[in-house]
Every structure is written in C-alpha cells, then in structure tokens.
Structure 1
Amino acid sequence: MVAGGKAAVFLPDTMSKRGLFYLSCLLLLCCGINSSAQDSVLAFRSLDSVKKMADDTLKVNTFMAQSKNFYRYFDRKNQENPFLLEAITLSSRIKYNKGLADAYNEMGTSKRNKSQYILATEYHEKALAAAEDSRNDRLIAVSLNNIGVDYRRRDMLEKAFDYHFRALKLAEKINDVRNITIATNSIGNINLSDGKYEDAIREFTRSLRLEQESDNELGVAINLGNLGYAYEYLGKLDLAIDYYERSLAVNQRLGNSTGMSICYTCLGTAYQKKKNYPLAMDYLQKALEVNDRVDDKVHVAESYLSIGRLLNEQGKYEDARHHIRQALELGHQWGFKSVLMEGYKAMADNYKREGDYAQSLDNTNLSLQYKDSILEERSSTEFAQMKAMHEVYRKDNQIKELQRAQDLNQLRIRRNLALAIALAGFLFMLIVGGFFYIRHRNLQANRQTLQLELRSLRSQMNPHFIFNSLSSIHRYIWSNNQEEASDYLTKFSKLMRMILDNSQHTFIPLNKELDSLRLYLDLEALRCNNIFDYHIAVGENINEEEVLIPPMIIQPYVENAIWHGLVHREAKGRLEISVSLKGKVLEVVVTDNGIGRKMAMEIKEKKDRMHNSMGMKVTEGRIALIRKINNTKDANVEILDLRDNGGQATGTQVRIVLPAEFLF
C-alpha cells in the first residue's frame, strides 16, 4: 500500500494477475461512481472557485484535496487531472516544495494505475527532488517507495530494491510505521519475484506484525496471502494452505469479495498440487460464485480458466473445454488479452492431452498471436509515454522561463524602489547618522563587556560539574564491582567530550544540550542504584537542531533536584523535564517529586552548614547576564514548592525562561 492507498504493492510480481485483481476491486470499493454529467459540473465549478483564491500554500492544498475528490471522473474520461496540474504550476511559482512533492506523487501514482510505468517513474522522481528540497523526511520516504514500486512493476528488481531499502532506512530513522510497512512488504515481494523465498518470508512476517500492531486488517489479509505464496513456492503446501485460510478469514470479516476470490483460487491451486481434486474444485467453484459479486469480469474469466486447467489435469477434457471456452468468450467480449493468451494456451494443452495435435497447434498459434499483441501493445504504450514525457519537459521549461521572467521583473522593481528609498533617506541619514554611530559604539562596548563576563561564568560552570562528576566516580568505584565501574567511566568519558565540545560555544543546538543531559541523568541513575526515573518531553513545535540554548544551563537544577530532593525519598522518585517554545520565549520546566526545599534545607544544615550550590549560583549569574545582553525581561528562574491538599511537600518545580535563539 503506497502513499495513495493502493494495495497492489503488497502482491508479488510473479503473481501479477492476482495483484491486478486486488487493485481493480479495491479501487471500486473505495470510490463511489457518480453520474458523468454531475461530476463534470461539480468538478469545473470547484476548479473555477479554487482558482479565485489567493496564490499561497492554502490554495495548493485545496487543489490537492479537490483532485482526490474528482480523480475518478477524470480517470473515466482519460483526461489529466486539472487540479493536479494547477497544484504543480502554482507550487512551482511560489516555490512550495512540499506541495510540489505531493502533487507529483499523486500524478505519478495516477500514471502507474494506468500501467504507464515510465511516466510514473518520471513524476515520482520529480516528487523525490521536491521532497528533498523541502527537507521533509516523510515525503522523501513516500517518494522513494513510489519509485521502488514503479521499477518493480517494470521488473527492474535491483533498482526497485535499492529505492525501497533507502525508504526503509529513512522511515526507521523517523519511526514512520506506514512507510516502514510499505518498504518491508515491497522488499518481500522483490525477494519473492527473485526466488529468494526465505528472505521474502522474513520480510512478510515483519510487515504482518506491523500491520497487526496498526490494526490494518486489509494489510494483514494481504501479508497472510503473501506468506502463503512464499510457502507454496517452497513446496510447503500445508503451511501455505494455513496462511491462505487465515487470509480468507480476514477477507470474509471485511466483506472483501476480491480478497475472498483470490484466497479461494489460491486454495484451489494448492489442493490441486496435493492431488486433492474434489477439494480443489470446491474452492475454485466458490471463487467463481464470489466473482459474480465483483464488477470486474476478468475475475470470472480467470475462475473459468482455473477450473478448466484443473479438469485438464483430471482428464475430463470435454468439461475442461467447456469452461475454457467460457473464459475465452469473456476475454473476447471484454478485450482481456492476457486471458485470451492463457485460455488458448490451456486449450492447446487440452487437445495435446487428448491426442489432437492439429487442434493443439492451432490453439498454440492463437496464444502466441495474443502474446505478440500484448508485447506490441506494451511497446507502443512505452513509446507514447516517452512522447508524453517529452511534452512534460517542454511544459516544465515553459513554466521555468515564465517564472524566470517574472522574477527578473520583480527584481527590477525592488531595485528601483530601493534606489528611490536610498536617495530619499540620504539627507535624513546625514543628520541622525552621527548620533546613531556614537550610540551603537557605546552599546557594542557594553555588549562585549557582558559577553566576557558570561564566558567567565561559563568557565566556572564546567570545572564545577567535572569536579562533582569525578567525585561521584570515585565513590562509585569503591562501592561497586569493576565491570560496572568501567561502564560508568565509559559513559563519563563520553559526557566529558560533549561538555568540552559544547563549552566552546555561547549557544549550542537544543538536541546537543539534551543529549548531554540524558547522559548525565543515566550516570546519576547508575550512581544512585536507579532510585529515580526521568522523562524529557520536547514540544512538537520545536526543531531541536535549530533552537539554540546556552550549554549546561539545565544541569545544575537537575543535579539539585536529584541530590536535595529525590535521594532522600523512601519510594522511587520521578524527574520530569519539559521544553516548550511559546512565541519568542523558550521555557524549561524541571519537576521532581522529592522531599521539598524545606526538608532538604534541614538535612543540609545537619550535614554541612558551609556548603553552597556553586552550580546554581553560577547559572543564575549566567541568566542575569543573558537578560542584560538581550535587554529583555524574558530571562529568569522561578522555583515553586509543590504541596498536596493537606499542605505536605510533594516536590519542587523549577521554571527556566530564556529568550529564544535560532540557528537560522
């Protein structure tokens, strides 16, 4: 099931006819069929309405939504979807790469559903380029999977595997379960087509587990069927039958007539191989009955053909010819060339078994004629696709030329406007320039002074932390075995490298700060025999690689929460750290369920009246300097004592507020 919801990608290429059966029926099940006249009026009214909107990303997204509403109408008319064309043109003009990737992916999938695989690959590669420009990992994975499916339909298995493997690695990196499932199942189908059945079983099993965890029953049914194919090819017929029956049960629960038909046919084929002809015939007859409820008559033709082949093997030649002729009649009536090719081939086998070699030869020649016709048609289709691709390139170049001309005009306008503003403001700048120059020079001097003070405070912070950590290691080595001490030292050395690297900078990306904080918490948890758990939550609107934060700004408050709050609890403690971005303010909240500040102070006075928290004092000084440098009130620390309804201490909450800094 690729991005676009087409289930056929789960089916093996060696079972391409069955895969096409699945695809055609699923499309009919998913979409209702409105009258052509009503669709035409609604489609073009909607198109005109959307065109009147302002040229922005909302307009592109509206084009995309409407393209899905009316794609059945344009498919029946064999016309390009104008909503997609408008979405592509507008996305190119406003440089909206995400919209461009979405539109090209939909266009490519539409071409693939019409077996125009060359054009599909071209559009999906354009989608990949746009997705990479947008730096959207999910869209990149979708595009890679789509290209993989295109190549697999063209039997270019090596290229297909390469794209699906890339999609899988990226999807695993971002934990995109949908694309992991698609890539895994597709790789399984590639292995199945390549005769690597054990590898295919491994991939299908993983895909099945993911579909079960996602409660996607259709995906479960298809993967069960795929496993049945693999075991059937390995000659493990009993195991294959078990998977076919499990797939049948799910399809029956879903009411999926096409899936039921395929399962019945597979069961009939498997029992035919086991020489259990009565049971094989029973399942093939059930497939024929189910196919009467499916609009696509190719299923009925295939059922007649399968029964004919079974009767051939049983030696019931007259009955076999009767069923094969029914398949041929449907093939001629509906133009199913593959059915005609296979039907005449089965008829040739029938006459050969009966000893009528003349009739067998005639039917063989007819089968070969339809095979040649299919190959010729495929070649003609590919040539037409190449011509269409050339037209696409020509139109793209026209759009780019128009866009380039528009950009040049806008550049000229902006240049002339800038020149006019510069000339108008020249006299004003002469008057006030001296004042601002002197003011700027004084501000720079003050800022440099504050920066030097901030660096001095930061250099105090790191030695303090290193001293405390070395003290912890010393005690840990004396109180634990050598293996645990070695593990602790390994983690500590990694943390030291991170601290030394981060301390070179006034600001570092948030993800680096959180990585060092997690490592510190792991070390403290080991040291304290895991007497507390911790959880770090980052707001969904935060890009951890772009948001900047002063290094080691959170750690002192975390350390204080552990050693003055959590270690004195009798039960297991909990430390919660949340990071949120509210406008231009970055807020970090450290919450513990420790004994509270009052009781901690009493314990501290009993143990060491002279000890003061150097780390927190230094950090408070850093925050004060940040407030001065940025000339803002959005830089402070608030400490709140948490209490229950009875007034008993339930922990402490520290709220660190900083002005937001960004990489770009």
Structure 2
Amino acid sequence: MIILVALFHPFTMFHKALIFIASLYLLLWAPVSAQDSALVFRSLDSIRKMPDDTVKVNLLMNRARGLYRFFDGRGQENAFLQEAITTSQKMRYAKGMAEAYNELGTSKRNKSQYLLATEYHERALKSAQDARVTRLITISLNNIGVDYRRRDMLEKAFDFHFRALKSAEKDKDDRSLAIATNSIGNIKLSDAKYDEAIEVFNRSLRIEQERDNELGIAINLGNLGYAYEGLGKLDLAIDYYKRSLAVNERIKSVTGMSICYTCLGTAYQKKKNYPLAMDYLQKALALNDKVEDKIHSADSYISIGRLLNEEGKYEEARKYLQEAIDLGLKWGFKSTLMEAYKSMSDNYKHAGDLNLAMDFNNYSILYKDSLLREKSSTEFAQMQTLHDVHQKDNQIKQLQQDQDLSQLRIRRNLALAIALAGFLFMLIVGGFFYIRHRNLQANRQTLQLELRSLRAQMNPHFIFNSLSSIHRYIWSNNQEEASDYLTKFSKLMRMILDNSQHTFIPLNRELESLKLYLDLEALRCNYMFDYSITVSENINEEEVLIPPMIIQPYVENAIWHGLVHRKEKGMLDIAVLLRGKVLEVTVTDNGIGRKMAMEIKEKKGRMHNSMGMKVTEGRIALIRKINNTKDANVEIHDLQDNGEATGTKVKIVLPAEFLF
C-alpha cells in the first residue's frame, strides 16, 4: 500500500527508489538484533532523504515502534521517533505529532519518568485536538490519566479518564472505553471507594467480554477481587481471584498467574488458613523462579516470610527473608531490601531480640530514605530535561522575534535618551538623597529576601523528611495506621503550606503543627518516646508571633540523634517562656548526648547532614541583623549526671513579636 501511494506521487525516480527501499526494510527486516546497528542507521538515513510528507512520517513511526528495545538496550533515544516529531513539526502535521508524542510519552512512562510522560502526552492531546481526530484525543486523554495515576494525583487522573470515557462513548471506541472504565475503577480502588470501584469494574468487564478480550477479562476479575478484599469479603474476593487465575492459565500469562497466586495467598492468610496460604505463595514463588526479573522471586520470599512470622515460625521465616535480602543485595532492589529488613525487624521483635530488631529497622529506614533521595534526583533530572525541551522549542520562535525586537530597542533607546537629557539637571540635584534612600531600602529588602529564601529551603527539607515516614504503612498494607498517618500528614502539609506564606505566625499555630509532627514521628518510631509542650501563663498564644518552622529542626535532631538510640522509652520536653521582650524556647531530651551520637554517626559512616539546623541558624542570624539586636541566638548544652551524658538542652532566644 505504501508503494502504490509513492508511485502516484509526482516525485523523481530517485525518490521513488528511496521509498521502495524503505518499504522493503519494513517488510523484510522487522526484528533487529544488536549486531544490526549499522543497518538501522542506514535505514534512518534513507528515510531522511525522502521528501517531508505523511508517507515519510508513517514510515518513521512504523520503524520507531519496532525498535524500542534496540534503542533502550543502548540507552539512547529512539532516533526514528525523534525524526518523526521533527518532520511533523516542519510540516505542521498535527496527526503525526499526536501519534509521535503519544508514543514518546508512553516510552517515558514505561521507564517511570512520569513528569516527562505527562508533558509529552499533553502535547499529544493538543496536537490531536488540532487534528480533530477523536480516536487520538481519547488515547491521549487516557494516557494523561494513567500518568497522573502513577503520580498518585487521583483527582486529575479521574478527570482525564472521565473525559476519555465520554470521548470513547461518542466515537464508539470499545477499546478506549474499556481502558478508561478500568482506569476509573482503579482510581476508586486507590481511594478506598470499594463499592463504586466494583460497579465500574463490572462495567469494564462486560465491555471486555463483548470484545472477547481475555487479558482484559482477567485484569478486571482480579481488580474485582481486590475491591471485595478491601470490603473484607474474603470469600467473594477469593472466588474472583480464582476466576482470574483460570483465564490467565488459559492464555498462559505467567505474570498474571503469579499475581493471582500471591493474591490468593494473602487472602487465605487473612482468613487464618495458613496451610492453604502457604501453598499458593509457594506456587507464586515457583512461577517467579522461571522469570528473568528476580524482583518477583524476592517479593514471594518476603510474602512467605511474613506469613511464617504471623504463624510464629520465626526461625523458618528468617530463611525466606534472608533469601529476599540476598536477592536484593545482588540485584540492587532497594524497595525489596526496605521491606525485607522491616519484616526481619518484626521477626526479631516478636522473638524478643530487641537489639537485632532495632538494627534491622534502622537498615529499613536507611533504604527508605535512599529511595526518596533517588526519586527526588530522578524528578529533578526530568525537570531539567523538560527545561531543555522547552528551550529548544522556543529557539525558533526567539529567532523570528529578534528582528522586531531590535527595531523596538532602537526607538526605545532614542526616547530614553531624550527623557534622560530633560531630567539630567533634576537627577544631579536630587541624586545624592535618592541614592542614599534607595540603598537603605535595598539593604533591608535584601535581608528580607534572604530570610524568605532560607524559609523556602526549610519547608522542602521538612516535607522530604516527613514523606519518608509514610512508606512503611503503605508497603505493609496496614490500612488503619496508614489512614491515621495520612490524615495527620495531610493536615500538617496544609498547615505548612499556609504558614510558609508568612514571615511570622501566631505561636498557637506553630505549636499545633509541631504537635502534629511529633505525633507522626512517634508513630514512625513505634512510640519510642513521649513528649510534653508547656507554655508560660503570661503568654497569649494567639498574640505572640514566631517565625514558622523555627523549633522543628531541633526537635527532629533530638529525636533522631538522641532518643531513638535509647534502649528505654525517651522523653522530650518543650517549654516556651516570655521574659520581657524576649521569647525563649527550650527543647530538652534525655537521649544519649551529642558525644555518643557523633560516635555512632562516625561508626556507621556519614549518612545525613543536618540541613534543617543549618538553615534555621541562618534564619536566626538574619533575624538578628534585621532587628539589630543581640536577642536572637541558639545555645546548646550537654546535660550530665556524675560525668555521664543524660541528654541535651537547646535554648532558642528570639526578640518577641506581637500581633497588636
């Protein structure tokens, strides 16, 4: 078909020959091995020589779809896809751009680069709307919905999937309709709206049954099992898991069978039917051993270890958990190591060996923090890539605007010269006084901007540390504690976002956010410490003002460098006093003391820099400059009893600020 179109086009014989050669490549050379790289790029060069038209774009897209593994294996961008985008942009071929950007966005999503995926899929949507192709609009909407779902932005995901659903219904596109419906069900499932999820999954299941799509049927049956398990209807969940398993066995989907075996094992574990649960988990393990990606085997070892923990078979459980740890260390599975170490900590805790339990729990926390840092770095790299993409897109527009801008600059400069000549005498007479006033204002504004900048650093640091606490409950599927944690965390985030807009906030709001933070940290540390907050009677908490987030870094330092290393339960005391025009805040802990904390840090290697304390010290220094006072400093005292460390006391001194 491609050859026929080419022959009727008024090209030269040379162009016809190029099209014929490119077509032969498509027909005879679909699978490309690692040794065919020279042939791949000769094919690309041949297509590049073709005239810019839809035939060329379609050839590029077909080759791009067949060569993802080739380019991914070399860590390179798909050159055919990039050429298709460039050619479509030159032609202003909206349909080609929509298809190419959809492919590019999906490839980024498959590599967990969700920010880039969202950017490219939104470009695909705009191009599809320009082309007025309903099918491409629906596909783009579904793709954006999936991107937002992977980023846990459920409201936006629901909005795009709902729009895709309406578009698919209008176009009678059953495939896109099934995808949108199933995606909406998954959003309901993630939001714990199980009854609504069941209704949506049943609708998607009927569509897939009408299409006779067995993979879609298996997926929806499994999703219905998840929903009924969420409602606590374990027998009904097991029935759907078994129905999904039967379909996966029929289509010989090893991954689907493994998922079903794991789900059945988890469900029977909840029913306390441990022998049957173990049987299904062992079946999942046997299947995963046949798969090249060993992370599935590691997950099965962890699931079996947790089951044996629950049965009280601690020594046997350790063997499976150690297998998971060995695989995690060999292949670098950080999330697996985090979960395996946590399960090993629970094992030793229930076995009565609290020292080993604490050691394994610390290993788990280290890997959680490492995963968060890695995710933050990945997202930063994606943001940098987006910046580069936008910069490249703007270069052409910028070149077109330069000529017009140069003419405007000439006229503007002439007008300025005339104006400056007219006001020259006035500027000479009043310049000295104006410059002096301006410099004074500039100095004060500079200090204020520096203070805001430091406060802006403080909040991301605090949010980063707080987010690491939430992973344990999500991964362990502890719904009640996870719900409690998320409720407090979301309230704390709202307070942080509101407070960060102000240089000073009322003391009661600062203490309220501090209490929420302490509750979250106590929960994260398994209530290894208690705390108390006392405020002097002469303080009206609504009228006395304090910089936001000024106490939290010292509280965090007391917990993680002092209290968590105690074998017994620790105590943290926070006191707020008002002495004339000076506000004093003391943070006292009965931890191991700074000297022993430094020894532990040096022994384990430097894993953490106290960024929060450095930023806070900078803030206090700026407050001292702005107010031109010595009443702004921090004092740290080591507490001792007969020469032995009994804790640390931090005194924060600030000039008192009042609302009225």
- What does the per-residue CA deviation read over 1:188-240, in whole Å, with 9 as the maximum and x for residues that have no partner? 00000001001111111111111111111111111111110010111000110
Q: Does 1:297 align with 2:304?
A: no
For 1:43 and 1:196, locate their aligned partners in 2 and report how far apart those are by CA, in whole Å: 49
Residue type of the partner of 1:335? G
Identity among equivalent pairs (%): 69
Aligned runs of 1:171-186 on 2, under 5 Å? Answer: 171-186=168-183
Match of 2:113?
116
Match of 1:37?
35
**1:33 to partner: Cα distance:** 8.6
Match of 1:329?
326
CA contact (8 A) 1:89 1:399 kept: no
Residue type of the partner of 1:300? S
CA contact (8 A) 1:351 1:359 kept: yes
Structure 2 CA distance for partners of 1:150 and 1:168, relative to 1, 3 Å: same
Match of 2:373?
376
For 1:401 and 1:269, locate their aligned partners in 2 and report how far apart those are by CA, in whole Å: 58
Q: Does 1:103 align with 2:86?
A: no
Quick one: which of 227, 239, 242 aligns to 1:242?
239
- What does the per-residue CA deviation read over 1:414-448, in whole Å, with 9 as the maximum and x for residues that have no partner? xxxxxxxxxxxxxxxxxxxxxxxxxxxxxxxxxxx
CA contact (8 A) 2:31 2:66 kept: no
Quick one: which of 282, 287, 302 aligns to 2:284?
287
CA contact (8 A) 2:144 2:160 kept: yes
Which stretches in structure 1 are left out of the alignment for 5+ residues?
1-31, 406-664
**1:397 to partner: Cα distance:** 2.1
CA contact (8 A) 1:112 1:120 kept: yes
Match of 2:340?
343
For 2:32 and 2:362, locate their aligned partners in 1 and report how far apart those are by CA, in whole Å: 43
Structure 2 CA distance for partners of 1:216 and 1:298, relative to 1, 3 Å: same
For 2:214 and 2:347, locate their aligned partners in 1 and report how far apart those are by CA, in whole Å: 40
CA contact (8 A) 2:234 2:271 kept: yes
Residue type of the partner of 1:107? L
For 2:147 and 2:400, locate their aligned partners in 1 and report how far apart those are by CA, in whole Å: 31
Residue type of the partner of 1:156? M
1:375 partner SS: helix
TM-score, normalization: structure 2?
0.55
Aligned runs of 1:47-86 on 2, under 5 Å? Answer: 47-86=44-83
- What does the per-residue CA deviation read over 1:375-409, in whole Å, with 9 as the maximum and x for residues that have no partner? 1000000000000001111222235567999xxxx
- What does the per-residue CA deviation read over 1:616-646, in whole Å, with 9 as the maximum and x for residues that have no partner? xxxxxxxxxxxxxxxxxxxxxxxxxxxxxxx
Aligned runs of 1:8-19 on 2, under 5 Å? Answer: none
For 1:110 and 1:145, locate their aligned partners in 2 and report how far apart those are by CA, in whole Å: 15
Aligned runs of 1:570-609 on 2, under 5 Å? Answer: none
For 1:230 and 1:206, locate their aligned partners in 2 and report how far apart those are by CA, in whole Å: 14
Which stretches in structure 2 are left out of the alignment for 5+ residues?
1-29, 403-660
1:275 partner SS: coil
Residue type of the partner of 2:85? I
Quick one: which of 251, 254, 266 aligns to 1:254?
251
Larger Rg: 1
CA contact (8 A) 1:67 1:84 kept: yes
Match of 1:493?
none
CA contact (8 A) 2:32 2:67 kept: no
For 1:323 and 1:33, locate their aligned partners in 2 and report how far apart those are by CA, in whole Å: 40
TM-score, normalization: structure 1?
0.55
Q: Does 1:393 align with 2:384?
A: no
- Supply the RMSD in Å over aligned alpha carbons: 1.5
**1:359 to partner: Cα distance:** 0.7
Residue type of the partner of 2:34? S
Structure 2 CA distance for partners of 1:99 and 1:307, relative to 1, 3 Å: same
**1:77 to partner: Cα distance:** 1.7
Q: Does 1:190 align with 2:203?
A: no
**1:113 to partner: Cα distance:** 0.6
For 2:83 and 2:390, locate their aligned partners in 1 and report how far apart those are by CA, in whole Å: 16
CA contact (8 A) 2:141 2:164 kept: yes
For 1:41 and 1:262, locate their aligned partners in 2 and report how far apart those are by CA, in whole Å: 41
For 1:402 and 1:105, locate their aligned partners in 2 and report how far apart those are by CA, in whole Å: 28
**1:170 to partner: Cα distance:** 1.1
Structure 2 CA distance for partners of 1:68 and 1:399, relative to 1, 3 Å: farther
**1:35 to partner: Cα distance:** 3.9
**1:43 to partner: Cα distance:** 2.1
For 1:346 and 1:208, locate their aligned partners in 2 and report how far apart those are by CA, in whole Å: 36
Aligned runs of 1:205-216 on 2, under 5 Å? Answer: 205-216=202-213
Match of 2:354?
357
Aligned runs of 1:448-467 on 2, under 5 Å? Answer: none
1:281 partner SS: helix
Match of 1:223?
220
> Quick one: higher RCO (CA 8 Å, sep 6+), 1 or 2?
1
Residue type of the partner of 2:147? D
- What does the per-residue CA deviation read over 1:25-66, in whole Å, with 9 as the maximum and x for residues that have no partner? xxxxxxx9964222x233212211211222101101111100
Match of 2:165?
168
For 1:404 and 1:214, locate their aligned partners in 2 and report how far apart those are by CA, in whole Å: 53
